[in-house]
Structure 1
Amino acid sequence: MGGDFVGFVVARDGKRAKMQGFANSEDAYAHYWIEASGRLIDLGAYFLPDDSGFNAASMPAVAWDLTYPLPRFLRYRALGRSGNAGVLSSDPAINERCVKFAERCLNNALHEKNSKFPTWIVTNPSSVEIAANRKTLWAHAAMRFARRDDPRDLPF
C-alpha cells in the first residue's frame, strides 16, 4: 500500500511529543506498508524516531491485526496500491536501512535458537497495554496520548 503515515513520537525524557510522518518525496507516495493476512505490516514506524529532531524513544514495528481499529497514535491513509517492485524509496539511505533490518531479522530467524527481533511489535491494543505495563516509554506515552487527544485534531 502507498499513502500517508504519521505516528506518535515521544522524547526519551518524556517532555516532548509530536505526531510525525515521512516527508513527501519523488516517489509516488510518502510511505509504503503491506496489508496481508489480515494485518497492516510496517517496519517504517521503527525508523521514524531517527528523524524526529530530538532524542526520541524507540518505536515498535507494526503488524497490526486489522480486526481492531487503528489506534490514534498510528495514522495511515491509503492512497493506492503499488506493484511488487522491491524498492520502496528513491532515497538510497532508506533502502539500505530497510535491507539491513530485513537481513538482520532473517539471519536471527535462521541462525539463532533464541533470536530476538530488533524491536517489539505492536499487534493490537493489548500489545500496547502489555508494553506500557513493562514500562516501555513509547507505549506508555502513546496510551496517554490516545486517551487525551481529540481525534478531530489528528491528521486524516
Structure 2
Amino acid sequence: MNGKGWAAASGQRHGQDGDGSQVERMAQILAAVLGCLREQFAHDYFRRCAFAARGIRTLLLQQGIPNRVVGGRFTALVVAKFGSRYALQGFQDGPELYPHLWIETDDRLIDLGPYLLPSGSPFPIVAMPPLIWNRAEQLPAALRYEAIDTVPDDAPFSVDPEVDRQGEVFAARCVESCEVRAAFPYWIATGDKALRDQADDPWVKGVRHFEQVVRKLPNMPH
C-alpha cells in the first residue's frame, strides 16, 4: 500500500476484553496516527499502510510495548451503503513486496486498514472499525490476514531516500501528536465481544451473515 523498502519493498469505549487500559492506550495511538496520515497525505492517506505501520510501531515502542511489522495480504467483507450489496475488498497484490502491512504484538493484531477501506472503495460502503484484535480469538471469516513475512526490525523503511525521509518525519510527527490524548472517532474491533456490543452496526450484521454463508458453504473461497 504505497512506498518502497519495507514501506514498500515492499470518545467511545472499545468493547474491551481484559487488558482495558492497554487497549485504551492503543486506541489513542491509532487516533494519533490517523490524524497524522490525514495531515501529511491529505489526498491518499487511506493508501498509506506503510506509514500507518511505521507510526503505530514507533508509538508502541515508546510506550514499552514490543511489536513487529507483518507484511502480507488483507481482505475484508464490505457492505454497500445503498442496496443489499456485499463484496470483498482489500490488498491482495501490487508492485510492492507486501500488498499490506500491519502490526502484531504478542496479544494483539493492530490495523487501521479496515477503517480506511471505505475511503478508497470504488462504491460507497458503510463504515468499518479498525482492529486492536485479541489474537487469542479467531478473526471472523469476513476478515482475512495472510502473512507473507515479518519485516526485520533493522530493515530500512525505504530504499528511496526521499520516502525514507518522509517516514522519519511522519514517525516524529506521530510522537508529537500522541502527547495530546485524543479518542478514536469510531468504535474499535477488539474481539468478538466488541462485535456483539455493536450487533446493530450494518457492517457487523454483514459479518454475521457472511459467517453463516461460510458455515453452509465451507468450500467457498474467503
1:21 shift after superposition: 1.4
Q: 2:196 aligns with which of 120, 129, 143?
A: 129
Residues 1:139 and 1:86: Cα distance change in structure 2 (over 3 Å): farther
The alignment status of 1:116 with 2:183, answered yes or no, reads yes
Secondary structure of residue in 2 paired with 1:48: helix
The aligned counterpart of 2:133 is 64
The aligned counterpart of 2:207 is 142
Amino acid at match of 2:138: P
CA root-mean-square deviation: 2.7
Indicate if the aligned counterparts of 1:9 and 1:52 stay in contact, CA closer than 8 A: no
Q: Which has the higher strand share?
A: 1
Looking at structure 2, the residues matched to 4 and 69 of structure 1 have their Cα atoms a distance apart, in angstroms, of: 17
Higher relative contact order (CA 8 A, sep 6+): 2
Identity within the alignment, %: 33
1:26 shift after superposition: 2.5
Q: Which of the two has higher C-alpha Rg?
A: 2
Amino acid at match of 2:133: W
Q: Residue deviations 1:27-64, cap 9 Å, x none? A: 21111111103111111111112222211001100111
Q: Residue deviations 1:109-152, cap 9 Å, x none? A: 6435xx430221111111111112xx211112211211223343
Matched length: 140
Indicate if the aligned counterparts of 1:72 and 1:151 stay in contact, CA closer than 8 A: no
Looking at structure 2, the residues matched to 118 and 154 of structure 1 have their Cα atoms a distance apart, in angstroms, of: 33
Looking at structure 1, the residues matched to 135 and 83 of structure 2 have their Cα atoms a distance apart, in angstroms, of: 29
User: What TM-score do the two structures reach when normalised by structure 2?
Assistant: 0.55
1:6 shift after superposition: 0.2
Looking at structure 1, the residues matched to 197 and 157 of structure 2 have their Cα atoms a distance apart, in angstroms, of: 34
Looking at structure 1, the residues matched to 122 and 218 of structure 2 have their Cα atoms a distance apart, in angstroms, of: 25
Indicate if the aligned counterparts of 2:140 and 2:207 stay in contact, CA closer than 8 A: no
The aligned counterpart of 1:76 is 145
User: What TM-score do the two structures reach when normalised by structure 1?
Assistant: 0.76
Amino acid at match of 2:201: T
Secondary structure of residue in 2 paired with 1:32: strand
The alignment status of 1:53 with 2:118, answered yes or no, reads no
Runs of 4+ residues deviating >2 angstroms:
23-26, 83-87, 109-112, 148-152
Q: Which has the higher helix share?
A: 2
Looking at structure 2, the residues matched to 64 and 19 of structure 1 have their Cα atoms a distance apart, in angstroms, of: 20
Residues 1:139 and 1:51: Cα distance change in structure 2 (over 3 Å): same
Amino acid at match of 2:79: V
The aligned counterpart of 1:28 is 97
Secondary structure of residue in 1 paired with 2:219: helix
Comparing 68-77 with 11-20, which one deviates more in the overlay?
Answer: 11-20
Looking at structure 2, the residues matched to 144 and 129 of structure 1 have their Cα atoms a distance apart, in angstroms, of: 13
Secondary structure of residue in 2 paired with 1:33: strand
